[in-house]
A = this chain, B = another copy of it.
């Protein structure tokens, strides 16, 4: 059994890790830290876990994380980089769900996150945890930078087209929409029910942290310069993410060939579902599961291809993907503990 620790178990990615890991057959939940909730049974904060998770939160210093086999950081950025070195030294693997180990370009990290990177040694060996594009490196990684939610959809949507070199990488437009849980479990007016329900808006249009992350990763797939316009929006739903990706085709290619690129790219992927050409995936078709679904469109058979991508932002966009990485890192079947059927309706 893999002994698992979770740092920061009180947020949405934390409780989602608990939901997934509490039924994972090869995992023992060993420690969950929260400075503020030290001693509180997890199920007292999250009654959904009553009878499922017996653990209590413990203060970080009491948690004995170094006795775990792997520690997930479900924390704001800046936390994992402060503790990674000690854990690695003790032989503990690290999976950070925040941004500390996502961007290899330290200057970009410091610009967008506004803090110095204090752990660049570890960053160098960190592996970007998107299994569909990075599986082999993940298997042997000691530390994982788990992808952001939006970047997961953009990369898996654009990758087959960039690899096949059939689109103009300099004019990518990603119009993305996220459920409110993506903003986290924070006491902020802007994400109150009465502020976000029955309304819709864009945010961060002039610049968002997920742009440099996505650009850095997409750049690895093409020799063209990647220029990405990324526009996030807030949808009045709890979970779910829908990315509408636009790309200009640079050469003659039939719709069948386009579809074949995706079928081929993802034919062995357990968590990527290429839907029929022209389908309209709904976010709810992935709710509470690790599936990502996508479908291609080409209006008027013109020069622009549109890729519609959906996922559950808390699962494939965060905690599920992290567990998928863990499975790879520990030599388990990649889908272990991730067989949830999406909840519909």
* Interface 9-residue window, one of A83-91, A102-110, A337-345: A337-345
A111 CB, min distance to chain B CBs, angstroms: 13
Sample of 22 A–B contacts (CB below 8 Å): A23-B341, A48-B342, A52-B341, A179-B194, A180-B197, A181-B345, A183-B194, A185-B189, A185-B195, A187-B189, A193-B193, A193-B195, A194-B345, A197-B198, A198-B287, A201-B242, A202-B242, A229-B304, A231-B244, A233-B242, A239-B345, A288-B343
A300 CB, min distance to chain B CBs, angstroms: 7
Contacts of A19 in B (CB 8 A): 341-344
- Chain A, interface size category, equals 35 or more
Pair A202/B52 contact, Cβ less than 8 Å: no
Does chain B have a CB within 8 A of A205? yes
Pair A299/B238 contact, Cβ less than 8 Å: no
Contacts of A239 in B (CB 8 A): 198, 345
Pair B308/A202 contact, Cβ less than 8 Å: yes
Does chain B have a CB within 8 A of A50? yes
Known contacts A191-B192, A341-B23: does B299 contact A229 (CB below 8 Å)?
Answer: yes
Interface string of A221-245 (1 = CB under 8 A from B): 0000001010101011111101010
Known contacts A193-B192, A194-B180, A285-B47: does B297 contact A235 (CB below 8 Å)?
Answer: no
Closest to A312 in B: B343
